[in-house]
Copies of this chain bind each other. A is one copy, B any other.
Amino acid sequence: MIEIECNITIKKEGKNYLNALKVNLLHCIQQTGSLSGAAKKLGISYQFAWNMIEEINSTSNTPLVVLQRGGVNGGGAVVTDTGLRFIKEYKYIEDEVNRLIGKIISEINF
Using CB atoms and an 8 Å cutoff, list the residues of chain A in contact with chain B: 1-14, 17-18, 86, 89, 92-93, 96-97, 100-101, 104, 108, 110
Q: How many copies does the complex hold?
A: 2
A4, B96: Cα distance in complex, Å: 13
Say yes or no: B6 contacts A2, CB within 8 Å. Answer: no
Say yes or no: A10 contacts B1, CB within 8 Å. Answer: no
Say yes or no: A96 contacts B100, CB within 8 Å. Answer: yes
Contacts of A100 in B (CB 8 A): 96-97, 100
A34, B66: Cα distance in complex, Å: 54
Say yes or no: B6 contacts A7, CB within 8 Å. Answer: yes
Other A-B pairs beyond A2-B12, A4-B10, A5-B11, 4, CB < 8 Å: A4-B8, A6-B7, A18-B110, A100-B100
